[in-house]
Structure 1
Amino acid sequence: MPLKDWTLLSSEPERFCRLFSLRKDRAVSPRTGRPSDFFVVEASPWVNIIPITSQNDVVLIRQYRHGVRSVTLEIPGGLVEDSDSPEEAARRELREETGYAERVLAPLGAVYPNPAIQNNLCHTFLAQDVYPVGVQQQDEEEDIEVILKPLSEIPRLIRDGEINHALVIAAFCRFYLEHPFKP
């Protein structure tokens, strides 16, 4: 028997935070007929950008992440603000977090970060032939270090756990599906 959508009985806002809100849904299982409560993190769409220079270096960032209380190695990214398209947000985040701009921006697709508890998408873009255009324009809550790594090192950085952010790994997966790795 094919799976069916659950019947939504109610949906209520629970709490609003600066970057997201929490929603409580009550839904009925089509299999058991029993209702259950679910909590959903409502968030704006996000963007991730894989910036590559004309020398095939990837512009990466190191950033302290409060959720894991540690510095992570990532690609630039951030929220799609209300007035932005994902493309506009990608250009803005690249510039703000790294001080770089791109000559070509191409979409690589979108993924749900965690569809079990979140309702948003993360759009990934490839920024090609990036070049420095000025200083970073970090938010007050950001401390970001920009580093360049050869594109050929990315698989090793992922394999060795130096890049361990799931959305960054998903972004590189999309990249390598379109641009297979050639050692």
Structure 2
Amino acid sequence: MNDLKWKVLHSEYLHKGPWATLRSDKCEMPDGRIVEQYYVLEYPDWVNAVAITEEGKILMVTQYRHAAAIVSQEIPGGVIDDGEEPLPAMRRELLEETGYQFDDIELLATIYANPSTANNKTYCYLAKGGKKVQDQDLDEHEELIVTEHTIAEVKQLLAENKIAQALHCTALFYALGKLGEL
């Protein structure tokens, strides 16, 4: 099979921000053709988890997502801080967003939101046996409502297209498969 990887000849940053960075790459394709401007969004990597409590309930969070102007029902997750490893980031996000502590956390998949335009990846976990140990400790612009659902209820939310965040749907399907619930 031919090598499909492009060679980057030049990169230029057009915008650098705390949550997103935009760069333009000049690339050479394997057959020698030149792509003068290929725009790449750089984001930090993310984590998310299908979090199941000691009582067997899946924790969901509901929050407003401004870019899409929707109130979104999701699984807990967030940004991996600079210098942080994915698993500790997942533990931190679960504790901050839900107040639950999880000792049994397993990596299900590493996925890309949109590898054609963005460079970051999401680590999807299955967290089991969660215990409520504290109140939420949310970031400045976060407002989250935590709810508990049975597996059957989550499957129904998926069937009715009530979970809009594609990365979270993906993690839920991986977890349901792992749990033998598909």
TM-score exceeds 0.5? yes
- Report Cα offsets for 1:104-129 as digits up to 9, x if no partner: 11111210111011111100111101
SS of the aligned residue for 1:127 comes to strand
Alignment correspondent of 2:162 = 162
SS of the aligned residue for 2:162 comes to coil
Alignment correspondent of 1:98 = 98
Distance change >3 Å, CA 3–CA 159, structure 1 → 2: farther
Alignment correspondent of 1:47 = 47
Contact 2:105–2:125 (8 Å) recurs in 1:
yes
Identity, in percent, stands at 32
SS of the aligned residue for 1:88 comes to helix
- Report Cα offsets for 1:69-126 as digits up to 9, x if no partner: 1110001101111232100000000011111111311111210111011111100111
- Give TM-score scaled by structure 2 length: 0.93
SS of the aligned residue for 1:137 comes to coil
- Aligned-pair CA distance for 1:55: 2.1
- Give TM-score scaled by structure 1 length: 0.93
Alignment correspondent of 1:58 = 58
Alignment correspondent of 2:72 = 72
Alignment correspondent of 1:2 = 2
Which deviates further from its counterpart, 25-34 or 85-94? 25-34
Alignment correspondent of 1:81 = 81
Moved over 4 A (4+): none
Q: What is the one-letter code of the residue matched to 1:119?
A: N
- Report Cα offsets for 1:150-171 as digits up to 9, x if no partner: 1122121011011121000110
Contact 2:6–2:30 (8 Å) recurs in 1:
yes
- Aligned-pair CA distance for 1:35: 2.6
- Aligned-pair CA distance for 1:34: 3.4
Contact 2:26–2:34 (8 Å) recurs in 1:
no
Gap runs ≥5 in structure 2: none
- Aligned-pair CA distance for 1:18: 1.5
| 1:139-150 correspondence to structure 2 within 5 Å | 139-150=139-150
Gap runs ≥5 in structure 1: none
Q: What is the one-letter code of the residue matched to 2:124?
A: T
2:41 corresponds to 1:38: no
